[in-house]
Amino acid sequence: MSYFFQVLVLVVIASTFFGPHLRHTWWYCSIWAVVVLIIRFRYGTSGEVLFYSNDQRYHSVVTSALVELGLSNDWNYMMRSGRLAYTLPAALLHWVGFDTVLGLKFVSLLCLLGTGVLATRMLNESGTDDKVLFRYLLLLGPVGLFFSTLALRETSMLFLTTFFFLTQRPVIRAFVLLAVTTLRPHLAVALMVGLLLAPLAQFVARRLYYLAVAVVLFVPATLGNAGYSVGRWAIDGGDFSLDSKWLSSEALTRIFSNLIGVQFLTADSSTTELNFADLMLARIPFFETILIPILFSMTMLLAPRLSILRWQIFAAFSFYLGLVTVTDFNSFRQNVPFMTLFGLLVVTEALLPSQSLTRDEMVQRVETSS
Protein backbone atom coordinates (compact mmCIF):
# COMPACT_ATOMS: atom_id res chain seq x y z
CA MET A 1 0.00 0.00 0.00
CA SER A 2 1.53 3.31 -1.10
CA TYR A 3 2.29 6.01 1.46
CA PHE A 4 -0.22 8.41 -0.11
CA PHE A 5 -2.97 5.80 0.01
CA GLN A 6 -2.16 5.00 3.65
CA VAL A 7 -2.53 8.69 4.55
CA LEU A 8 -5.84 8.83 2.68
CA VAL A 9 -7.19 5.78 4.52
CA LEU A 10 -6.20 7.19 7.90
CA VAL A 11 -7.84 10.55 7.11
CA VAL A 12 -11.09 8.79 6.23
CA ILE A 13 -10.94 6.75 9.46
CA ALA A 14 -10.31 9.77 11.67
CA SER A 15 -12.92 11.92 9.91
CA THR A 16 -15.55 9.19 10.13
CA PHE A 17 -14.95 8.52 13.81
CA PHE A 18 -14.56 12.09 15.08
CA GLY A 19 -16.69 13.96 12.56
CA PRO A 20 -20.00 13.51 14.45
CA HIS A 21 -18.40 14.76 17.68
CA LEU A 22 -16.08 17.56 16.54
CA ARG A 23 -16.83 20.19 13.93
CA HIS A 24 -14.28 20.89 11.22
CA THR A 25 -12.66 17.48 11.75
CA TRP A 26 -12.27 17.15 7.99
CA TRP A 27 -10.22 20.36 7.88
CA TYR A 28 -7.98 19.25 10.73
CA CYS A 29 -7.40 15.91 9.02
CA SER A 30 -6.82 17.48 5.61
CA ILE A 31 -4.20 19.89 6.95
CA TRP A 32 -2.59 17.01 8.84
CA ALA A 33 -2.42 14.91 5.66
CA VAL A 34 -0.87 17.71 3.60
CA VAL A 35 1.82 18.49 6.18
CA VAL A 36 2.62 14.79 6.75
CA LEU A 37 3.04 14.26 3.01
CA ILE A 38 5.21 17.36 2.63
CA ILE A 39 7.51 16.23 5.46
CA ARG A 40 7.78 12.72 4.02
CA PHE A 41 8.56 13.76 0.45
CA ARG A 42 10.83 16.64 1.51
CA TYR A 43 12.98 14.72 4.00
CA GLY A 44 12.50 11.08 2.99
CA THR A 45 12.05 8.01 5.15
CA SER A 46 15.32 8.48 7.04
CA GLY A 47 15.21 12.26 7.35
CA GLU A 48 11.62 12.71 8.51
CA VAL A 49 12.40 11.27 11.96
CA LEU A 50 15.09 13.93 12.41
CA PHE A 51 12.84 16.83 11.45
CA TYR A 52 12.33 19.20 14.44
CA SER A 53 13.24 16.58 17.07
CA ASN A 54 15.16 13.32 16.93
CA ASP A 55 12.81 11.95 19.61
CA GLN A 56 10.82 10.82 16.58
CA ARG A 57 13.61 8.40 15.69
CA TYR A 58 13.53 7.01 19.22
CA HIS A 59 9.78 6.41 19.03
CA SER A 60 10.21 4.78 15.64
CA VAL A 61 12.89 2.42 16.98
CA VAL A 62 10.80 1.47 20.04
CA THR A 63 7.71 0.86 17.90
CA SER A 64 9.67 -1.30 15.47
CA ALA A 65 11.02 -3.33 18.40
CA LEU A 66 7.48 -3.88 19.66
CA VAL A 67 6.45 -5.11 16.22
CA GLU A 68 9.38 -7.48 15.83
CA LEU A 69 9.89 -8.70 19.40
CA GLY A 70 6.59 -8.02 21.15
CA LEU A 71 6.32 -6.81 24.74
CA SER A 72 9.49 -7.24 26.77
CA ASN A 73 9.61 -9.14 30.05
CA ASP A 74 11.62 -6.24 31.45
CA TRP A 75 8.73 -4.19 32.82
CA ASN A 76 11.11 -1.62 34.27
CA TYR A 77 12.28 -0.87 30.73
CA MET A 78 8.75 -0.94 29.33
CA MET A 79 7.46 1.53 31.90
CA ARG A 80 10.47 3.86 31.79
CA SER A 81 11.51 3.72 28.14
CA GLY A 82 8.84 1.88 26.15
CA ARG A 83 6.34 4.78 26.21
CA LEU A 84 3.63 2.20 25.62
CA ALA A 85 0.67 4.56 25.73
CA TYR A 86 2.04 6.11 22.56
CA THR A 87 4.07 3.41 20.81
CA LEU A 88 1.80 0.40 21.35
CA PRO A 89 -1.15 1.80 19.31
CA ALA A 90 1.33 2.65 16.53
CA ALA A 91 2.68 -0.91 16.65
CA LEU A 92 -0.87 -2.22 16.20
CA LEU A 93 -1.24 -0.01 13.12
CA HIS A 94 2.01 -1.37 11.74
CA TRP A 95 0.78 -4.95 12.24
CA VAL A 96 -2.17 -4.23 9.95
CA GLY A 97 0.03 -2.75 7.26
CA PHE A 98 0.68 0.93 7.97
CA ASP A 99 4.06 2.66 7.95
CA THR A 100 5.64 2.80 11.43
CA VAL A 101 6.30 6.54 11.56
CA LEU A 102 2.96 7.30 9.93
CA GLY A 103 1.26 5.19 12.57
CA LEU A 104 2.90 7.26 15.31
CA LYS A 105 1.78 10.48 13.63
CA PHE A 106 -1.75 9.13 13.32
CA VAL A 107 -1.83 8.39 17.05
CA SER A 108 -0.74 12.01 17.60
CA LEU A 109 -3.64 13.18 15.42
CA LEU A 110 -6.18 10.99 17.23
CA CYS A 111 -5.05 12.37 20.58
CA LEU A 112 -5.40 15.95 19.35
CA LEU A 113 -8.90 15.26 18.04
CA GLY A 114 -9.78 13.44 21.26
CA THR A 115 -8.70 16.49 23.23
CA GLY A 116 -10.94 18.59 20.99
CA VAL A 117 -13.91 16.36 21.77
CA LEU A 118 -13.29 16.70 25.52
CA ALA A 119 -13.07 20.49 25.23
CA THR A 120 -16.12 20.71 22.98
CA ARG A 121 -18.23 18.72 25.44
CA MET A 122 -17.23 21.17 28.12
CA LEU A 123 -18.00 24.19 25.98
CA ASN A 124 -21.36 22.77 24.93
CA GLU A 125 -22.41 23.42 28.51
CA SER A 126 -21.26 27.05 28.32
CA GLY A 127 -22.63 27.79 24.83
CA THR A 128 -19.30 28.80 23.28
CA ASP A 129 -18.23 25.89 21.07
CA ASP A 130 -19.04 27.74 17.85
CA LYS A 131 -16.71 30.64 18.56
CA VAL A 132 -13.44 30.49 16.68
CA LEU A 133 -11.38 32.17 19.41
CA PHE A 134 -12.29 29.55 21.96
CA ARG A 135 -11.56 26.72 19.56
CA TYR A 136 -8.19 28.26 18.88
CA LEU A 137 -7.43 28.47 22.58
CA LEU A 138 -8.54 24.96 23.39
CA LEU A 139 -7.06 23.06 20.44
CA LEU A 140 -3.74 24.91 20.57
CA GLY A 141 -4.27 26.27 17.05
CA PRO A 142 -1.25 25.70 14.79
CA VAL A 143 0.83 24.22 17.61
CA GLY A 144 -1.58 21.35 18.18
CA LEU A 145 -1.74 20.58 14.48
CA PHE A 146 2.03 20.86 14.18
CA PHE A 147 2.67 18.32 16.92
CA SER A 148 0.03 16.00 15.46
CA THR A 149 2.13 15.77 12.29
CA LEU A 150 5.17 14.56 14.23
CA ALA A 151 6.03 11.22 15.80
CA LEU A 152 6.16 12.80 19.26
CA ARG A 153 4.23 12.09 22.48
CA GLU A 154 3.12 15.69 23.15
CA THR A 155 -0.49 15.37 21.99
CA SER A 156 -0.79 12.05 23.84
CA MET A 157 0.18 13.77 27.09
CA LEU A 158 -2.14 16.64 26.24
CA PHE A 159 -5.10 14.29 25.80
CA LEU A 160 -4.37 12.20 28.89
CA THR A 161 -3.76 15.21 31.15
CA THR A 162 -7.00 16.82 30.00
CA PHE A 163 -8.91 13.55 30.41
CA PHE A 164 -7.44 13.00 33.89
CA PHE A 165 -8.84 16.25 35.25
CA LEU A 166 -12.13 16.27 33.37
CA THR A 167 -13.22 12.81 34.47
CA GLN A 168 -14.45 12.17 37.99
CA ARG A 169 -14.36 8.37 37.81
CA PRO A 170 -11.57 6.98 40.00
CA VAL A 171 -11.06 3.82 37.93
CA ILE A 172 -10.66 5.78 34.70
CA ARG A 173 -8.31 8.20 36.42
CA ALA A 174 -6.19 5.28 37.59
CA PHE A 175 -5.87 3.90 34.05
CA VAL A 176 -5.09 7.36 32.67
CA LEU A 177 -2.45 7.86 35.35
CA LEU A 178 -0.84 4.55 34.41
CA ALA A 179 -0.79 5.59 30.75
CA VAL A 180 0.80 8.94 31.63
CA THR A 181 3.41 7.11 33.72
CA THR A 182 4.59 5.24 30.62
CA LEU A 183 5.01 8.53 28.77
CA ARG A 184 6.47 10.84 31.42
CA PRO A 185 6.54 9.53 35.01
CA HIS A 186 7.09 12.93 36.63
CA LEU A 187 4.00 14.28 34.87
CA ALA A 188 1.99 11.46 36.45
CA VAL A 189 3.33 12.45 39.88
CA ALA A 190 2.40 16.07 39.16
CA LEU A 191 -1.18 15.09 38.32
CA MET A 192 -1.51 13.23 41.61
CA VAL A 193 -0.03 16.14 43.54
CA GLY A 194 -2.56 18.46 41.93
CA LEU A 195 -5.40 16.14 42.87
CA LEU A 196 -4.26 15.84 46.50
CA LEU A 197 -3.32 19.47 47.19
CA ALA A 198 -6.34 21.11 45.55
CA PRO A 199 -8.79 20.72 48.48
CA LEU A 200 -6.30 22.39 50.84
CA ALA A 201 -5.68 25.18 48.33
CA GLN A 202 -9.41 25.70 47.90
CA PHE A 203 -9.83 25.90 51.68
CA VAL A 204 -7.13 28.57 51.99
CA ALA A 205 -8.51 30.47 48.98
CA ARG A 206 -11.89 30.89 50.65
CA ARG A 207 -10.19 33.11 53.20
CA LEU A 208 -7.08 34.55 51.54
CA TYR A 209 -7.21 34.01 47.80
CA TYR A 210 -3.88 35.57 46.83
CA LEU A 211 -2.09 33.82 49.66
CA ALA A 212 -3.44 30.56 48.23
CA VAL A 213 -2.09 31.49 44.78
CA ALA A 214 1.38 32.16 46.21
CA VAL A 215 1.38 29.00 48.31
CA VAL A 216 0.15 26.78 45.47
CA LEU A 217 2.79 28.22 43.17
CA PHE A 218 5.83 27.81 45.43
CA VAL A 219 5.07 24.83 47.69
CA PRO A 220 4.34 22.30 44.89
CA ALA A 221 7.20 23.78 42.84
CA THR A 222 9.55 23.23 45.78
CA LEU A 223 8.26 19.67 46.14
CA GLY A 224 8.79 19.18 42.42
CA ASN A 225 12.35 20.40 42.65
CA ALA A 226 13.01 18.00 45.53
CA GLY A 227 11.28 15.25 43.57
CA TYR A 228 13.64 15.80 40.65
CA SER A 229 16.62 15.39 42.95
CA VAL A 230 15.12 12.23 44.45
CA GLY A 231 14.44 10.82 41.00
CA ARG A 232 17.98 11.50 39.81
CA TRP A 233 19.36 9.89 42.95
CA ALA A 234 17.12 6.82 42.57
CA ILE A 235 18.00 6.34 38.90
CA ASP A 236 21.67 7.35 38.78
CA GLY A 237 22.73 6.51 42.33
CA GLY A 238 25.52 8.37 44.09
CA ASP A 239 25.22 10.93 46.85
CA PHE A 240 21.85 12.55 47.36
CA SER A 241 21.72 16.35 47.26
CA LEU A 242 19.07 18.99 46.68
CA ASP A 243 19.44 21.74 44.11
CA SER A 244 21.41 24.48 45.86
CA LYS A 245 20.17 27.12 43.40
CA TRP A 246 16.48 26.48 44.06
CA LEU A 247 14.51 29.73 44.55
CA SER A 248 17.53 31.74 43.43
CA SER A 249 16.88 34.64 41.07
CA GLU A 250 17.75 32.39 38.13
CA ALA A 251 15.33 29.66 39.24
CA LEU A 252 12.52 32.15 39.90
CA THR A 253 13.08 33.70 36.48
CA ARG A 254 12.69 30.31 34.83
CA ILE A 255 9.49 29.59 36.77
CA PHE A 256 7.86 32.90 35.88
CA SER A 257 8.99 32.63 32.26
CA ASN A 258 7.00 29.39 32.00
CA LEU A 259 3.94 31.14 33.39
CA ILE A 260 3.98 33.58 30.47
CA GLY A 261 5.28 31.20 27.81
CA VAL A 262 8.70 32.75 27.24
CA GLN A 263 10.86 30.06 28.80
CA PHE A 264 13.01 30.04 25.65
CA LEU A 265 14.49 33.36 26.87
CA THR A 266 16.07 31.56 29.84
CA ALA A 267 17.29 28.49 27.96
CA ASP A 268 20.99 27.69 27.82
CA SER A 269 22.29 28.55 24.36
CA SER A 270 23.91 25.10 24.18
CA THR A 271 20.49 23.41 24.23
CA THR A 272 19.02 25.19 21.20
CA GLU A 273 20.18 25.56 17.62
CA LEU A 274 18.25 28.82 17.08
CA ASN A 275 19.26 32.32 18.06
CA PHE A 276 17.02 34.79 19.87
CA ALA A 277 15.67 36.38 16.68
CA ASP A 278 14.71 33.00 15.21
CA LEU A 279 13.01 31.94 18.43
CA MET A 280 10.95 35.12 18.45
CA LEU A 281 10.01 34.71 14.78
CA ALA A 282 8.80 31.19 15.53
CA ARG A 283 6.29 32.66 17.97
CA ILE A 284 4.52 34.57 15.20
CA PRO A 285 2.72 31.55 13.70
CA PHE A 286 2.66 29.82 17.09
CA PHE A 287 1.78 32.83 19.23
CA GLU A 288 -0.68 30.81 21.32
CA THR A 289 2.35 29.31 23.08
CA ILE A 290 2.64 32.72 24.75
CA LEU A 291 -1.01 33.82 24.61
CA ILE A 292 -2.51 30.88 26.51
CA PRO A 293 -0.06 30.88 29.48
CA ILE A 294 -0.42 34.66 29.83
CA LEU A 295 -4.23 34.45 29.79
CA PHE A 296 -4.13 31.61 32.31
CA SER A 297 -1.83 33.58 34.63
CA MET A 298 -4.08 36.63 34.31
CA THR A 299 -7.10 34.46 35.10
CA MET A 300 -5.45 33.22 38.29
CA LEU A 301 -4.66 36.78 39.37
CA LEU A 302 -7.58 38.85 38.07
CA ALA A 303 -10.53 36.43 38.13
CA PRO A 304 -10.61 34.83 41.60
CA ARG A 305 -12.67 31.64 41.66
CA LEU A 306 -12.92 28.73 44.07
CA SER A 307 -13.53 25.84 41.67
CA ILE A 308 -11.63 22.71 42.62
CA LEU A 309 -10.54 22.18 39.01
CA ARG A 310 -8.66 25.49 39.00
CA TRP A 311 -6.60 24.47 42.02
CA GLN A 312 -6.02 20.95 40.75
CA ILE A 313 -4.55 22.26 37.51
CA PHE A 314 -2.53 25.04 39.13
CA ALA A 315 -1.04 22.76 41.81
CA ALA A 316 -0.16 20.08 39.26
CA PHE A 317 1.42 22.61 36.92
CA SER A 318 3.39 24.23 39.75
CA PHE A 319 4.81 20.85 40.81
CA TYR A 320 5.64 20.13 37.18
CA LEU A 321 7.44 23.48 36.91
CA GLY A 322 9.59 22.56 39.89
CA LEU A 323 10.71 19.49 37.96
CA VAL A 324 11.18 20.79 34.44
CA THR A 325 12.75 24.16 35.23
CA VAL A 326 15.85 22.49 36.68
CA THR A 327 16.49 20.50 33.50
CA ASP A 328 18.60 21.68 30.57
CA PHE A 329 15.73 21.33 28.11
CA ASN A 330 13.00 23.61 29.46
CA SER A 331 11.01 24.62 26.36
CA PHE A 332 7.40 25.44 25.54
CA ARG A 333 6.88 21.73 24.91
CA GLN A 334 6.89 21.33 28.70
CA ASN A 335 3.68 23.38 28.90
CA VAL A 336 1.81 21.49 26.18
CA PRO A 337 0.12 18.86 28.44
CA PHE A 338 -1.70 21.64 30.32
CA MET A 339 -2.56 23.99 27.45
CA THR A 340 -6.14 22.85 26.81
CA LEU A 341 -6.92 22.95 30.52
CA PHE A 342 -5.50 26.47 30.68
CA GLY A 343 -7.75 27.48 27.80
CA LEU A 344 -10.81 25.92 29.40
CA LEU A 345 -10.25 27.81 32.63
CA VAL A 346 -9.73 31.08 30.76
CA VAL A 347 -12.99 30.63 28.86
CA THR A 348 -15.20 29.36 31.66
CA GLU A 349 -13.85 31.37 34.59
CA ALA A 350 -12.63 34.64 33.07
CA LEU A 351 -14.15 35.31 29.66
CA LEU A 352 -17.58 34.01 30.69
CA PRO A 353 -17.90 35.05 34.34
CA SER A 354 -21.69 35.39 34.15
CA GLN A 355 -22.40 31.71 33.45
CA SER A 356 -24.95 30.27 35.85
CA LEU A 357 -23.13 26.94 36.04
CA THR A 358 -19.94 26.76 38.08
CA ARG A 359 -16.83 25.21 36.53
CA ASP A 360 -17.21 22.10 38.71
CA GLU A 361 -20.90 21.74 37.81
CA MET A 362 -19.99 21.74 34.13
CA VAL A 363 -17.43 18.99 34.72
CA GLN A 364 -20.10 16.91 36.46
CA ARG A 365 -22.59 17.40 33.61
CA VAL A 366 -20.00 16.52 30.98
CA GLU A 367 -19.04 13.42 32.98
CA THR A 368 -22.69 12.37 33.16
CA SER A 369 -23.32 12.90 29.46
CA SER A 370 -20.25 10.88 28.49
DSSP character string of 320-364: HHHHHTTSS---GGGGGGGHHHHHHHHIIIII-TT-SS-HHHHHH
Same structural domain, 86 and 176: yes
The mean pLDDT value of the chain amounts to 84
Same structural domain, 174 and 306: no
pLDDT confidence of residue 318: 93
Average pLDDT of span 182-186: 92
Same structural domain, 26 and 155: yes
Neighbours of 51 (CB within 10 A): 15
Instruction: Flag whether pLDDT at 227 surpasses 60.
Output: yes
Same structural domain, 145 and 23: yes
Same structural domain, 241 and 356: yes
Q: Which of 4-13, 58-67, 215-224 has the lowest mean pLDDT?
A: 215-224
State the amino acid at position 24 in one-letter form: H
- Report pLDDT digits (tens) over 14-45: 999 999 988 889 989 999 999 999 999 999 99
Same structural domain, 119 and 204: no
pLDDT band at 86 (very low <50, low <70, confident <90, very high): very high
pLDDT band at 97 (very low <50, low <70, confident <90, very high): very high
Q: Which of 165, 183, 201 is the last residue of a domain?
A: 183
Q: What are phi and psi of 266, to 5 degrees?
A: -105, 0
Instruction: Flag whether pLDDT at 242 surpasses 80.
Output: no
Same structural domain, 203 and 159: no
pLDDT band at 351 (very low <50, low <70, confident <90, very high): confident
pLDDT confidence of residue 366: 47
Average pLDDT of span 319-345: 83
pLDDT confidence of residue 223: 87
Q: Which of 145, 163, 183 is the last residue of a domain?
A: 183
Average pLDDT of span 275-303: 83
Same structural domain, 146 and 272: no
Compare 181 and 265 and report the one with higher pLDDT.
Answer: 181
Same structural domain, 151 and 193: no
Same structural domain, 223 and 148: no
Same structural domain, 112 and 220: no
Q: Which of 183, 202, 220 is the last residue of a domain?
A: 183
SS3 of the chain: helix, strand, coil, percent, to 5: 75, 0, 25
pLDDT confidence of residue 84: 93
Q: Which domain holds residue 289?
A: 185-370
Neighbours of 164 (CB within 10 A): 26
State how many domains the chain has.
2
Rounded CA-CA distance 264/283 in Å is: 11
pLDDT confidence of residue 136: 59
Same structural domain, 49 and 194: no
